[in-house]
């Protein structure tokens, strides 16, 4: 069996297409068909529509697992941080989708192979094609693998304001700026845990751990804020 002309792309995706024509449709911009009416192929817009829904569902599931105590609003913000034009365009660049796009001359000459909107659309269309061919479980695995590092890098939406709130409160009460110190890092690179302390003046208010330095700082800030607000109440 001859190797697919899209073997390099399929390797990056983690999926080998049985129906290569489906992948080619996903990679085809309508400008190409407008200029090449002899090509009997659909463009990728319908697959793009489908892939958009698949991305929302898969990423929604992944952020619920990542943040088991997140509210609906917080989870929506986390999902939107992944499923947006900029994020999908970056994924398209990493996959090298621009190399395989079928574009009309106008789009080609205007830099369409690196245009964020086209790369994001192509990402959605390719995922829509995988779903059409292989179903949801396979597509879930493909998308999960492609986005694993981005999901892991998300800050916990429930903690995003604590550092700001602590700084504002510390300035108001004591004219002090919180200082964060990494006390230790333990574990392998792919599963490292950070321990961080937060200090005001000469007093260590709290120490906390997290799966990233940012998460540990936010958790430490939350604990410190609780103590600081208790001190404020005792002063009144």
Positions marked catalytic: 52, 124
CA 112 to CA 120: how far, in whole Å?
12
SS3 91: helix
Residues 6+ apart with CB under 8 A from 143: 54, 55, 58, 59, 127
**Which neighbouring-strand residues pair with 195?**
184, 209
- Residue 25 CA to residue 23 CA, distance in Å, equals 5
Angle, helix 116-134 to helix 136-153, in steps of 10 degrees:
140
CA–CA dist 131, 19 (Å, integer): 12
DSSP symbol at 155: P
Strand partners, 28: 102
Sign of CA dihedral 221, 208, 79, 89: positive
CA atoms of 32 and 60, how far apart (whole Å) = 33
CB 58, CB 140: distance < 8 Å = yes
């Amino acid at each position: 069996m001859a190797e697919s002309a899209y073997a390099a792309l399929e390797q990056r995706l983690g999926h080998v297409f049985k129906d290569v024509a489906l992948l080619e449709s996903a990679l085809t911009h309508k400008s190409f068909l407008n200029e090449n009416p002899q090509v009997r192929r659909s463009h990728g817009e319908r697959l793009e529509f489908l892939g958009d829904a698949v991305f929302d569902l898969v990423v929604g599931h992944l952020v619920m697992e990542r943040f088991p105590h997140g509210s609906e609003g917080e989870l929506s913000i986390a999902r939107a941080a992944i499923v947006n034009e900029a994020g999908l365009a970056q994924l398209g660049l990493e996959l090298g989708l621009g190399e395989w796009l079928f574009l009309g001359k106008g789009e080609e000459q205007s830099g369409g192979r690196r245009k964020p909107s086209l790369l994001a659309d192509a990402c959605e269309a390719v995922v829509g094609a995988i779903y059409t061919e292989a179903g949801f479980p396979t597509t879930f695995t493909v998308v999960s693998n492609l986005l694993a590092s981005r999901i892991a890098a998300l800050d916990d939406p429930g903690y995003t304001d604590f550092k700001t709130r602590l700084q504002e409160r510390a300035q108001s009460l004591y004219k002090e700026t919180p200082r964060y110190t990494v006390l230790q890092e333990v574990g392998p690179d792919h599963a490292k845990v950070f321990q961080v302390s937060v200090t005001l003046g000469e007093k260590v208010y709290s120490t906390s751990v997290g799966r990233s330095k940012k998460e540990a700082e936010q958790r430490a800030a939350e604990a410190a804020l609780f103590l600081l607000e208790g001190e404020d109440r005792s002063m009144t």
